[in-house]
Structure 1
Amino acid sequence: MLSLILDLCEKQQANASLSKRDCAALRKAGKRFEKITGLGLIFEFERIEVNASYDLIRLWKAIRNLPEFGHAGSGIHRLFAQMMKVFKLNKVSRPSARNYYNRKEDE
């Protein structure tokens, strides 16, 4: 199943699009993989491009500072890691996004 997912993703990257049949097969295999492993799959072509990357990171920092996430081990860093998978930050690398997110004060 994982090999099918990887093959279809490679095919999608090579052709820049998949047929309806392949899209359905990819979606079905992805849902089955999620059900078996309990992990969510986010394909590269599904990621949302964000032009205002620093604004989005600033909003994540504001969420981190909410009272609900005040204690250590609250899982807010896992949320940030998942959001990095969902959004494709334009003009910002992942390491610089993490550094900006973990900075103490906004500039």
Structure 2
Amino acid sequence: MAGMQMPQAAQDQRMMGQDHATPPGMSMPRTPFTEAEMSMHRSMMMATDVNTQRTWARKMIAHHRGAIAMSQALLASDATDAEIRRMAQAVIDAQTREVTELESWLARHPG
């Protein structure tokens, strides 16, 4: 198919690498948080609604779930500092409550 132009979306995906999240020319180091971060960003971008309030709630749920996943990754890592582990657990507890609250609001305010 010489001479045929590849669709822009396909070009962009090819240029950005397999994870489709790293800009061309950038090599991002993998950390214990990489998967949680990538998942959070994908989920936040997909969290849309025709209603601005519902969109915000959906994006905040994705954001909070990302914070929970990153905190869980820290707790599963070799991190030994008691203070940072306590903070990670506090994030899990608080963000889990907030996800429940946001999901409850969405259920009470159907689109």
Q: Give me the TM-score of the superposition, normalised by structure 2.
A: 0.30
Larger RCO (alpha carbons 8 Å, 6+ apart): 1
Q: Which has the higher strand share?
A: 1
Q: Give me the TM-score of the superposition, normalised by structure 1.
A: 0.31
